[in-house]
Amino acid sequence: MTRQRPIKAVLAKPGLDGHDRGAHVLTLGLRDAGMEVIYLGIRTTAELIVQAAIEEDADVVALSCLSGAHEYHFPRVAELLKEAGMADVLLIGGGVIPAEDVPLLQAAGFKAIFGPGTTIQEIAAFIYEHVRE
Amino acid sequence: MKKPYDSDDEAIRCAQQTWQKECLEPELSVTGEWTNRFETYSGIPVQRVYTPSDTDNMHYTRDLGFPGQFPFARGDSATMYRGAPPRIYAYSGCPTAEQTNARYKHLLAQGAKELIIAPDLPTQIGYDSDHPMAKGEVSKIGCPINSLADVEVIFEGIPLDKVFVGAQANANSVVMLAMIIAAGEKQGVSLEQMKVLVQNDVLKEYFARGTQIFPPKAGLKLSVDCMEFAAKRHLKFIVPILYCGYHIREAGGSAVHEIAFTLSNAAAYVQEFVNRGLSVDELPLPRSLFVAGLDLFEEVAKHRAFRRMWARMLKERFGAINPRVLAMTLTCGSQASLFTAQQPRNNLVRGTIQALVQVLSGAKATYIATMDEALSIPTEESATLALRTMQIVHNECGLLGTADPLGGSYYLESLTSELEQRAMKLFDEIEAMGGAVAAIEQGYQIGQIAKEAYRQSALVGSGDRTVVGVNKFQMNETIPIEITRVDRKEEARQVEKVRCLRAKRNCAAVEKGLEQVRLAARMGTNVMEPVLQAVGAYATMGEVCDALREVYGEYR
């Protein structure tokens, strides 16, 4: 089956971290890879992210956090997505995230966690491979 | 360049033509070149060789001069490192005030000269530890500072008339400066003797770092409040603003963006300063902060270009004549985004080269990131290693005897001029938009930086730029080094602490102080005095920022 529309990704930085170089680069990179990307900007709340995912009927929700607060914010977004009946959205994350946290985030519903040094091509390829049809 | 060399331009051109024909072309036809992309980190094309002809338009006395003399390209002081070696500063903040104090004492004992507090994110954005927006963020990237009580603990046993201290504070800089001053007064140090720095360059937050609280115009006003306070009180050891390119670069900008946007922001602060009826020659001693990247020549050229651009702007546009105001003193940090999570010990080598860049650039205060930068906040071991790296470069490499040792290199001088020209073109574009604040409101800088960050990322992605251990020379690794983790229970302890503080202080004095802050903000007068009163009564960071939010509104 071919897709009726381009993959739609909602990108956000939950919490207070303002380092959004990665988010900007990913926004431009995924667009070049043929996706529609809505970047919500810095300092977003879990509620706002999930609301945007619903309104946009997102295929992908991608979170970035470099402050270490991923351990609080990431699982919260996953939880609210499930509550909203959006468990089938492809949820991915990135930032400065210790390797030992990855299994916890995967258990919470994250399909992948991308660390420093990941290329856009790797992320785009992962999305194309794992997104719902 | 007129004219340290005895060969004349025509002779050089002839010789170069002969060289091309007889030497270069035969070699090219046999070996070729391994890439067709020779350019600086910021994308400036690099020639095969530079000669005096490439510096033809440069006049030695006009464009370089001597260190400590206009236009300060070769240094901000006449003696440079013969007067004093570069000062090592420590940018550090641990999960509690007590741990931060202990870390500072360790770093001072190991030779650090300046201590800059890294506060946690809620502090930087003006939220107390118990604010709903602070959840999950308390103590994560630095030390929570809820009130004067925390600052007292951080500097316990560290005399503020002897040790130069400061804080990463921008949108909340008036509050942070007031808290440090109040802590100094509690130590019995007079305001005139205090050595304090606040970063206070709020404009770059709106497009490069993201800890803004208030709308840009209000942010600018509060930043200049700190500058005015220091100028009017003649506080010569207080650095009320650090003009920052560092974060512009780390957000993804090029070296050109770094110096162009910094100068454009600086123009806005200086203009607001003189608009208040102060003389430009009373401007607090200028100090700026840039990164040391790894493209050695471009980085050194950038620092020299900025000293020259600043001096020219202050003289030509603002009419400054005070040499102390025309001379920009450089602080130089580390382009930590070049530090990799992969093979993290390699970052020690990157740090060494950055430390070299800092000294060759004439930076007076230096800091390099730690090898675990891409993984966590530094361990004590990694912080000590960074310190030792700078100490080796400063003490063992014979770099301190002469000013601007690379000056006169055809390549370096050509790059210095090229960077200045490109930056001034961008600067003029922003001026044409109405200046830095107008450009921020139109999203100009953020768009420029994002585009450049994408270009940089694509270079690494395609392999056109090699990053050792990331896109070339990779290895299979297990968890390679020890990293720091913040205890999850710390947040609850900080919440408890700030609630206790609120319960035991004099509430009437706090409320009175906050009312004065609101009043000054509404009247448009300088808020520093009332903020000093409020924090002296232990009003919290969040409360003072809330009082200002009531007047100015918020900006995300």
Q: Nearest-CA neighbor of B73 among B441, B403, B556?
A: B403
Is residue A24 less than 8 Å (CB to CB) from chain B? yes
| Substitution target from A11, A13, A24, A113 for chain B, most B beta carbons within 10 A | A24
Which tens digit of pLDDT belongs to each residue from B515-529?
A: 999 999 999 999 999
Angle ∠(B121,B390,B486) on CA atoms, nearest 5: 30
Q: Is the pLDDT of residue B2 over 80?
A: no
A-B CB pairs within 8 A amount to 102
Mean pLDDT for the stretch of residues B39-54: 96
CA distance linking residue B160 with residue B157, whole number of Å: 9
- B170 and B91 in a single domain? The answer is yes
Half-sphere exposure of A94 (CA within 13 A, CB side): 21
DSSP B207: I
- B423 and B505 in a single domain? The answer is no
Is residue A19 less than 8 Å (CB to CB) from chain B? yes
CA distance linking residue B238 with residue B193, whole number of Å: 9
- Look up the pTM and report it: 0.95
- B537 and B452 in a single domain? The answer is no
Question: Taking the mean position of all CA atoms in its chain, how far away is CA B528?
Answer: 23
pLDDT of residue B483: 74
Q: Is the pLDDT of residue B249 over 60?
A: yes
Contact B74, B407 (CB under 8 A): yes
- B350 and B232 in a single domain? The answer is yes
Q: Is the pLDDT of residue A129 over 70?
A: yes
Flag if B252 and A25 touch (Cβ within 8 Å): yes
Which tens digit of pLDDT belongs to each residue from B467-506?
A: 999 999 999 876 567 777 888 899 999 999 999 999 999 9
Among B374, B457, B486, whose Cβ lies nearest the Cβ of A29?
Answer: B457
Q: Which residues of A touch B457 (CB under 8 A)?
A: 25, 29, 119-120
Is residue A72 less than 8 Å (CB to CB) from chain B? yes
> Which amino acid is located at B124 in the chain?
Q
Please give, rounded to a whole number of angstroms, the shortest distance from the CA of A96 to a CA of chain B: 6
pLDDT of residue B429: 98
Inside any domain, residue B296: yes
Is residue A125 less than 8 Å (CB to CB) from chain B? no
Contact B151, B180 (CB under 8 A): yes
Inside any domain, residue B458: yes
Flag if A117 and B457 touch (Cβ within 8 Å): no
E-assigned strands of B468-512? none
Please give, rounded to a whole number of angstroms, the shortest distance from the CA of A4 to a CA of chain B: 28
Inside any domain, residue B31: no
Flag if A43 and B488 touch (Cβ within 8 Å): no
Helix (H, G, I), strand (E, B) or coil at B112: coil
Flag if B137 and A15 touch (Cβ within 8 Å): yes
Inside any domain, residue B44: no
Q: Which residues of A touch B125 (CB under 8 A)?
A: 16, 43
Mean pLDDT for the stretch of residues A69-83: 96
Which tens digit of pLDDT belongs to each residue from B371-415?
A: 998 887 788 899 899 999 999 999 999 999 999 999 999 999 999
Which tens digit of pLDDT belongs to each residue from B286-338?
A: 999 999 999 999 999 999 999 999 999 999 999 999 999 999 999 999 999 99
pLDDT of residue B480: 62
Flag if A69 and B337 touch (Cβ within 8 Å): no
Is residue B463 less than 8 Å (CB to CB) from chain A? no
Among B462, B480, B513, the domain boundary falls at B462
Flag if A67 and B251 touch (Cβ within 8 Å): no
Please give, rounded to a whole number of angstroms, the shortest distance from the CA of B209 to a CA of chain A: 5
- B411 and B358 in a single domain? The answer is yes
- B436 and B519 in a single domain? The answer is no
Half-sphere exposure of B153 (CA within 13 A, CB side): 16
Is residue A41 less than 8 Å (CB to CB) from chain B? yes
- B284 and B223 in a single domain? The answer is yes
**Range(s) of the domain holding residue B514:** 492-552
Among B136, B453, B460, whose Cβ lies nearest the Cβ of A69?
Answer: B136
- B548 and B424 in a single domain? The answer is no
Q: What is the band of B420 on the pLDDT scale with cuts at 50, 70, 90?
A: very high
Q: Which residues of B touch A120 (CB under 8 A)?
A: 457-458, 461
Inside any domain, residue B356: yes
- B141 and B258 in a single domain? The answer is yes
> In chain A, what are the domains?
8-128 (3.40.50.280)
Buried b (16+ CB within 10 A) or exposed e, B284-323: bbbbbbbbbbbbbbbbbbbbbbbbbbbbbbbbeebebeee
Mean pLDDT for the stretch of residues B62-69: 97
- B421 and B548 in a single domain? The answer is no
CA distance linking residue A115 with residue A44, whole number of Å: 21
> For chain B, how many structural domains are there in total?
2
On average, the pLDDT of chain B sits at: 95
Q: Which residues of B touch A96 (CB under 8 A)?
A: 341, 374-376
Is residue A103 less than 8 Å (CB to CB) from chain B? no
For residue B238, what is the domain's CATH number?
Answer: 3.20.20.240
pLDDT of residue B522: 98
Among B444, B462, B480, the domain boundary falls at B462
Q: Which residues of A touch B140 (CB under 8 A)?
A: 67-69
Q: What is the band of B60 on the pLDDT scale with cuts at 50, 70, 90?
A: very high
Inside any domain, residue B373: yes
Mean pLDDT for the stretch of residues B151-165: 97
Q: For residue B522, what is the enclosing H or E element?
A: helix B507-523
pLDDT of residue A2: 58
CA distance linking residue B169 with residue B191, whole number of Å: 19
Inside any domain, residue B283: yes
Q: Which residues of B touch A41 (CB under 8 A)?
A: 556
Please give, rounded to a whole number of angstroms, the shortest distance from the CA of A121 to a CA of chain B: 7
Q: Is the pLDDT of residue B7 over 60?
A: no
CA distance linking residue A47 with residue B455, whole number of Å: 33
- B369 and B514 in a single domain? The answer is no
pLDDT of residue B100: 96
B235, B240, B404 from B269: Cα distances, Å: 18, 11, 29
Please give, rounded to a whole number of angstroms, the shortest distance from the CA of A64 to a CA of chain B: 14
Among A43, A67, A72, whose Cβ lies nearest the Cβ of B135?
Answer: A72
pLDDT of residue B380: 85
Q: Is the pLDDT of residue B4 over 60?
A: no
Which tens digit of pLDDT belongs to each residue from A95-110?
A: 989 888 999 999 999 9
Is residue B110 less than 8 Å (CB to CB) from chain A? no
Mean pLDDT for the stretch of residues B203-207: 98
Is residue A42 less than 8 Å (CB to CB) from chain B? yes
Which tens digit of pLDDT belongs to each residue from B426-482?
A: 999 999 999 999 999 999 999 999 999 999 999 998 999 999 999 999 998 765 677
Q: Taken in order B342, B343, B349, B355, is the CA torsion positive or negative?
A: positive
pLDDT of residue B8: 78
Flag if B375 and A98 touch (Cβ within 8 Å): yes
CA distance linking residue B549 with residue B547, whole number of Å: 5
Contact B216, B555 (CB under 8 A): yes
pLDDT of residue B415: 98
Q: Is the pLDDT of residue B1 over 80?
A: no
CA distance linking residue B421 with residue B386, whole number of Å: 34
Q: Residues, chain B, total?
A: 556
Which tens digit of pLDDT belongs to each residue from A15-49?
A: 999 999 999 999 999 999 999 999 999 999 999 99
DSSP B326-385: HSPEEEEEE-GGGS-SSSTTHHHHHHHHHHHHHHHTT-SEE----TTTTTSSPPHHHHHH
pLDDT over 70, % of chain B:
98
Is residue B486 less than 8 Å (CB to CB) from chain A? yes
Q: Both tokens of residue B242? A: 């650090």
Among B462, B484, B517, the domain boundary falls at B462
Contact B354, B368 (CB under 8 A): yes
Inside any domain, residue B96: yes
Q: Which residues of B touch A15 (CB under 8 A)?
A: 121, 136-137
Sequence-distant (≥ 6) Cβ neighbours of residue B125 within 8 angstroms: A16, A43, B133, B171, B172, B211, B213
DSSP B237-268: TEE--EEE-HHHHHTT--HHHHHHHHHHHHHH
pLDDT of residue B479: 59
- B403 and B542 in a single domain? The answer is no
Main-chain phi, psi angles of B485, to 5 degrees: -125, 140
Q: Both tokens of residue B155? A: 């500097």
Is residue B465 less than 8 Å (CB to CB) from chain A? no
Flag if B251 and A21 touch (Cβ within 8 Å): yes
Q: Is the pLDDT of residue A131 over 60?
A: yes
